[in-house]
Amino acid sequence: MKSGLIISTRTQLYLGAGTILTCVIIVIMSGIVGTQQIDEIYAKIEQSNKISKMLTEMKADQNRNHSLALQMVMTSDINQRIELENEIRTKADEITTFHGNMEQLLLTTPETLVKYKEVEALFAEYRKNREHQIMLLKEGKTNEAIVLTTMTQMPLYKKLLSNINTIQADLAAKTEELTIEATNVSKSARIGIWIPGAISMVVVGLMVAWAIWVIRSLIKGITKGINILDITSNEILTTATEVSTGATETATSVAETTTTIEEVRQTSQLANKKAIKVLENSQKASEVAENGKSSVMKTIEGMQRIKAQMDLIAESIVQLADQSRVIGDITTTVNDLADQSNLLAVNAAIEAAKAGEQGRGFAVVAQEIRSLAEQSKKSTSQVKDILNEVQKSVSHAVMATEQGSKAVENGSALANESGEVIELLAETVEEAAQSALQISSSTNEQMAGMDQIVPAMENIKQASEQNVIGTRQTQTIAANLSTLGETLKITIKKFKV
Amino acid sequence: MSDEKEILKNRARELAKQDETKLSDKGVLKEMLSFLLSGEHYAIETSFVMEALNIHEMTPIPGTPAFLTGVMNVRGRIIPMINLKKFFSLKEEGIVSSTNAIILRDQTYEAAILTDAILPTHWVAESSIQPIPSNLHGIGAEHLLGVTGDAVIIIDGKSLIKKLETTLTNRKS
């Protein structure tokens, strides 16, 4: 915010008006003063003009006088002289009257008065000399009169004229000065009018601009307010509508809830019945579990017997394996014996050969022994093959019995586990029975609760109906507000700056 | 028992008859002891064979030729053991670790040869022995008499024993 805006609008208005008023007063004052001054100056100028005019007349009179005096001197006619003398006297009197007037006029300007006094003195001297001249003429001393006229009166007359001219020049100069002064005064008066005038114009312009600005900002503020009003009323309307919708929904929900409560009540009745049934069933189930438990115990015993049998079988098989190994050793021995028999037979044959014809029979025997040895070797190798098969079977049997005993172990473990499971099941069934009992009592309580809920729902229904009425009123009010906003908007639009 | 003896006597007679027919058919017959060596049939005249036996223990002798596997005590006599596969430059195949040996001998010397297996004695006609082509004679071929029609290699026992005697006794001295 600018510092200028801190001053209140009223103060600003007063300030503006005061400035304009002051300026107008200054204009008027300076006009009056200037006119007065100029009037005074013009009076002075008029006066000096008057004086100058009078002096000119005086000069003319003097001229006339002087020329009359000269004519008097020149003429020889006495009548004419007397006429001239009379005329001179009249003129001289006129001049004397002038003198009196002039002195009065020149009271304000002492310098001019002094100079005029000198002129008067010269007049006096001139008159004195002229009297003398007239007297001379009367006496008939014309020559002397001419001398006096030419020698004395002429310079005096000239001096007199020149003095009057000087005074006139002074007066003219003074008039000039006064004219200049009047011009200056009018100039200053013009300045005194123009400057305040200009100031007041500027102030008026500023005030107008400021007023426009103020009104504009006012309109802007009002428009903003109207907009806010519009939005707010719309929001209120929307909210009221929502509330109304919500109330309607509430009514629907209440109706639904009431229906649901009835359903729940029926359901809980059903649940109660079911729970009682569960209780009966669980008692049966626990009997069954007891039976299952004893069966499992029997199974475990059977398994243990099987295990003992399996152990016996395994022992027998191990014995069998040992014995077959012994048989293998024996066959190896038999094989060795056969080999040795073979060699013996060969050696016997060799010996028989050495014996020549005598050993022929022996050679045959040796041959037979040899073939027996071969047969026994073949048989041992067959036995060996069979024995290998037997050993393989034995090892298979060993493995099978091991697997069997393992399976038995697993079986008994499983049987144990199932025993535990059945026990757990029995416990669970017991818990289920208790739960069913609790469910039964709970459903009873539930039914009682449902009966209490029904009137509560009725209350809610009434409250929501009242709510609907209230929101309708609110809607009307909001609509009115909106209309007001519209009206204000139109008004403000008309008021455009 | 009397029956068995009877049967055996009859068989001996039959065999003797066969020999006689062989003698008359193919000239001079010689009884040979045959054995297996690297999958081949070999035979040597039984007159050079002292006995066939299983070897139980053998002592290798350092600093002797490679074909001399070691020596063996046979009833108090020390007998050298010859590996014929190495002697004849044969491949070491067939039954490598056999325990059968044949002791050869002549009037002056005894030596045993290792065999893969000892086979029965049989009669061979001298005329059926085909000599080995002379251009195939190598290191050991001079100790062979030849090959029979049924692919039995006949060893010259006399020559072999002599060769062994000279080689081994020269080495010793």
> Which range (A136-150, A248-262, A270-284, B56-70) has the least confidence?
A136-150
The ipTM assigned to this model is 0.70
pLDDT at residue A243, as a whole number: 83
Best to test chain A binding among B19, B118, B121 (most A CBs inside 10 Å): B121
pLDDT at B43 over 90: yes
pLDDT at A477 over 60: yes
Closest Cα of chain A to B67: distance in Å?
Answer: 24
pLDDT at residue B139, as a whole number: 61
Whether B23 and chain A come into contact, CB under 8 Å, resolves to: no
Question: What is the rounded average pLDDT of the residues A310-319?
Answer: 88
Token pair, residue A37, equals 């001054």
Whether A453 and chain B come into contact, CB under 8 Å, resolves to: no
Average pLDDT, chain A: 85
pLDDT tens digits for range A217-232: 888 888 888 888 888 8
Question: B172: pLDDT confidence band, cut at 50, 70 and 90?
Answer: very low
CB atoms within 10 A of CB A305: 11
- Residues of chain B with Cβ-Cβ distance to A358 below 8 Å are none
Question: B16: pLDDT confidence band, cut at 50, 70 and 90?
Answer: low
Question: What is the rounded average pLDDT of the residues A72-84?
Answer: 80
Query: pTM of the entire structure?
Result: 0.40
Chain B segment 54-93 residues within 8 A of A by beta carbon are: 54
In sequence order, which residues have a C-beta less than 8 Å from that of residue A340 and are 6 or more positions away? Answer: B54
pLDDT at B134 over 80: no
pLDDT at residue B173, as a whole number: 39
Whether B107 and chain A come into contact, CB under 8 Å, resolves to: no
Question: B19: pLDDT confidence band, cut at 50, 70 and 90?
Answer: low
Q: Cβ contact (<8 Å) for B118 and A342? A: yes
Q: Name the residue in chain A with its Cα closest to that of B101.
A: A343
pLDDT at B18 over 60: no
Q: Please, what's the b/e burial string for A194-229 (b: 16 or more CB within 10 A of its CB; e: otherwise)?
A: eebeeebeebeeebeeeeeeeeeeeeeeeeeebeeb
Contact B46, B31 (CB under 8 A): yes
Q: Cβ contact (<8 Å) for B118 and A365? A: no
Amino acid at A447: M
Question: B95: pLDDT confidence band, cut at 50, 70 and 90?
Answer: low
Whether B128 and chain A come into contact, CB under 8 Å, resolves to: no
Closest Cα of chain A to B140: distance in Å?
Answer: 26
